[in-house]
Chain A
Amino acid sequence: MNELPQQLVNGLLLGSMYGLVAIGYTMVYGIVQLINFAHGEIFMIGGFGALTIYLYVLPDGTTMWVALPLMLLGAVIAAVVVAVGAERFAYRPLRTAPRLAPLITAIGLSLALQQAVWAWYPGAKESINFPEIDGGPFEIGSVTIQTGDVFLLIAAPISMAILAYFVMKTRTGRGMQATAQDPDTAKLMGINTDRIIVVAFALGAVFAAVGAVAYGLKYGQVQFRMGFILGLKAFTAAVLGGIGNIYGAMIGGLVLGIAETMATAYISDVPGMEQLGGQSWANVWAFVLLILVLLFRPQGLLGERVADRA
């Protein structure tokens, strides 16, 4: 059986999730040049927000068609509240500080959020099961798509389209572009840059929340550490695509996801490479790819558009 189409779809799904999270990294970086390492935890909190709605708000046995939009809403609210709170209380006081200070703050915040969920969310000391959508997998030719993945397949492109529209066409979106170009001039032109920065954090959180719901549906569980590795991967995707560029984030995510999947699936079939294949080496190959890209295009894949920060 030719498994290439299936592996491509596997990579596409993984990559879409990286991309959704990567947008948050790239957008915040574009506006305030901060690598928000707590973003992976914003993603995780989105997952727990959705779970809270399902476990504690909705009556038992609510069908997923009703539950899903509400869970998505819960995820978005939880993620946005935490992200905006982090901006207000952790990052804003440090806005004029040297660049390393907010970076360390972000790492501290990341650990603090992880441990807070670990300590206070009931049952979060282990993985918690996430509700699943019933219904069998869909077969398209030789490709099988799980019911849980359908959400990701639909949500990722729609989110991207909305974001592109928002940044390009709306007043706030143009304000973001202006702030990314030059916050001081933007301020002189009457743009409330503080508000724009909050919007950037909130938007990143929304995308992370969508990604988190997709994660829950895809893997059937959430846990307090789920944002850590995924956050690092998403950050990698953002750098790969050209950090600061929203399209780059999505492209970087897809490239990274597909590269990892292909490395897992095929490297060990290359004669003499048996030892260097498999999933445990997939990260190595993904980073080899990252290094190669950065060697030839230090600004990332869509580097020319690195200027399109917003």
Chain B
Amino acid sequence: MGQTLLQVPHTRLESRPVTALRIRKHFVPALDSACSTGKGRASKGLIVRQRSLIAITAALAAGALTLTACGSRDEDGGSDSGGGGTTVVIGVDAPLTGDLSALGLGIKNSVDLATKQANKDNYVDGIKFKIDALDDQAQPSSGQQNATKLVANKDVLGTVGPLNSSVAESMQKVFDDAKLVEVSPANTGPTLTQGPDWQSGKKVRPYKSYFRTATTDAIQGPFAAQYLYNDAKKKKVFVIDDKKTYGAGLAGTFTDEFKKLGGKIAGTEHIDPETKDFSAIATKVKSSGADVVYYGGEYPQAGPLSKQIKAAGAKIPLVGGDGIYSADFIKLAGKSGTGDLATSVGAPVEDLPSAKEFIANYKAAGYKEAYEAYGGYSYDSAWAIIEAVKKVVEDNDGKLPDDARAKVTEAMQNVSFDGVTGKVAFDEYGDATNKQLTVYSVEGGAWKPVKSGTYTG
């Protein structure tokens, strides 16, 4: 090959001849014939190298994808441990960074507020509460790591969280094995409390340590369907979900009820939550002639989706569940988001007389972030743990028993008190007995409650 004549000592040379030869063919026609002898062999070498390089690269890329799941986590406890007495830690697991952090930070702050309130009132004699907030980045793998970490800390007697149903699935068993109670303010996936066959009526509670203050999608989806069909008079819906536990479940229960009422499904679509380009789907929605879009998923995708659907020329509202009920949805959906609807668990916190104190205290505590959709529920979840701890301590002559975790889990089943969001108590599956929901609409850049109600079969 021509190169040997010109060879100069250089480390990179062995990987070069191929490139050089092939390039000359096009750019230096005069050299073409001189180089053609080596071409066949050379180009084969190039392909092989290129292939193996691409294979290695692809493997590395896959590794990189998983790596990003574990970032930094927020170790900030948020409250002081008291001077004397026993300290009980309430764990918090929520997305504190990333797209869903608006909701997650609201959860963390509200739990923090509950512990501060209990400490101030000396609600449980001799016990100081303190939080340990971990960031799950809305990733099931991070959630499980956090659960393991909380279980390892002997002072933790209960955990509030997580936000995402998919994350809860990865945490439930870890907590249950340790008999550590977990109260979620936000999980709405029905399987978490009623087992995988809940739809066919075979309800089996999978984990005795899991409770939630939020209502389930088994109620939320149908509630939205009834509102849209009966009150908003929408007859043709385009259903979109993000294929996650929460989104797909919600879209499923909504679709069933909407069909039962006599509505038509103009089309269904599943989005890829990693992308922001929904133009192809938006075009499909427009040409389907639907008069409303139902989206099962969360606001980081729902905002751009709403915007792109309207931009494509379909001036129809997008309706979602509590996952899009966030101020960030309005920010992302922009001006065209006006008129979009969301259902959320419970009645609007601002309208509840029981929540006045919570809102005032939250403001007074000076948290940087708003309490968002789950603030009231998070406060109630934390308070339920505090109530259970109080019961256990009082039954044991003012001291924590050795098997405090198991006792707290047991006590949780019978907790009943008037919380921020109304009566807080749990049924035999660990679900909240409070089954109120509210429809909100985007008006003037904010969510305005439209209708509150209870879903009745």
Question: Which residues of A are interface residues toward B (Cβ below 8 A)?
Answer: 1, 3, 6-7, 10-11, 13-14, 33, 35, 37, 95-96, 99-100, 103-104, 107, 110-111, 114-115, 118-119, 125-127, 129, 132, 137, 144, 146, 177, 180-185, 188, 219-221, 223, 225-226, 228-229, 232, 235, 239, 243, 260-261, 264-265, 268, 278-283, 298-299, 305-309
Contacts and interface: CB of A to CB of B under 8 A. Distances in A.
B200 interface: no
Interface string B241-277: 0010000000000000000000000000111101111
Interface stretch (B21-29, B140-148, B316-324): B21-29
Contact of B16 (A35, A177, A184, A188): A184
A114 B64 CA distance: 12
Contacts of A279: 269-272, 275, 278, 280-281
B60 A104 contact: yes
Report the interface size class on chain B.
35 or more
15 contacts: A13-B279, A37-B61, A96-B11, A110-B64, A115-B71, A181-B19, A184-B12, A184-B13, A188-B6, A221-B332, A235-B61, A261-B280, A280-B243, A283-B272, A307-B24
Interface stretch (B48-56, B82-90, B112-120, B123-131): B48-56
Interface string B1-39: 001001010111101100110111111100000000000
B334 interface: yes
Interface of B: 3, 6, 8, 10-13, 15-16, 19-20, 22-28, 46-47, 50-51, 53-54, 56-57, 60-61, 63-64, 67-68, 71-72, 97-99, 101-102, 243, 269-272, 274-281, 283-284, 286-287, 300, 304, 307, 311-313, 328, 331-332, 334
Given A1-B287, A184-B16, A306 B22 contact: yes
Contact of A35 (B57, B276, B304): B57
B346 to A, nearest CB: 25
Question: Looking at chain B's contact residues, is the secondary structure mostly helix, strand, loop, or mixed?
Answer: helix
B394 to A, nearest CB: 42
B93 to A, nearest CB: 18
Q: Which interface residue of A11, A96, A265, A305 has the most chain B CB atoms within 10 A? A: A265
A48 B71 CA distance: 21
B279 A278 contact: no
A283 B334 CA distance: 28
A307 B280 contact: no
Q: Which interface residue of B10, B11, B281, B311 has the most chain A CB atoms within 10 A? A: B311
A103 B72 CA distance: 24
B269 A278 contact: yes
A274 B12 CA distance: 51
B304 A220 contact: yes
A129 B270 CA distance: 25
B312 A7 contact: no
B295 to A, nearest CB: 13
A9 to B, nearest CB: 9
A182 B53 CA distance: 20
Given A184-B12, A232-B61, A298-B50, A14 B283 contact: no
A221 B332 CA distance: 8
Contacts of A115: 71-72
Contacts of B331: 129
Nearest to B242: A280
Contacts of A132: 334
B16 A183 contact: yes
A219 B27 contact: no
A95 B11 CA distance: 10
A143 to B, nearest CB: 10
Contacts of B13: 184
B280 A265 contact: yes
Contacts of A137: 311, 313
Contacts of B243: 280
Which 3 residue pairs of A and B lie closest in terms of their CB atoms, listed nearest first?
A: A307-B22, A264-B280, A10-B279
Contact of A103 (B11, B60, B278, B307): B60
Contacts of B280: 7, 10-11, 260-261, 264-265, 279, 282
A1 to B, nearest CB: 5
A308 B23 contact: yes
Contacts of A111: 64, 67-68
A220 B46 CA distance: 42
Contacts of B67: 111
A110 B27 CA distance: 34
Given A96-B11, A307-B23, 13 more contacts: A99-B53, A125-B101, A126-B102, A177-B23, A181-B19, A181-B20, A182-B16, A184-B6, A225-B68, A279-B269, A279-B271, A279-B275, A299-B47
B85 to A, nearest CB: 36
A137 B313 CA distance: 9
Contacts of A183: 12, 16
Q: Which interface residue of A114, A281, A306 has the most chain B CB atoms within 10 A? A: A306
Nearest to B16: A182
A166 to B, nearest CB: 15
A181 B15 contact: no
Nearest to A136: B311
Contacts of A280: 243, 270-272
Q: Which interface residue of B15, B64, B101 has the most chain A CB atoms within 10 A? A: B64
A225 B287 CA distance: 32
Contact of B283 (A7, A283, A299, A305): A7
A110 B272 CA distance: 22
A184 B10 contact: yes
A127 B300 contact: yes
B40 to A, nearest CB: 14
Nearest to B22: A307
A177 B284 contact: no
Contacts of A6: 283, 312
Contacts of B281: 264, 279
A308 B279 contact: no
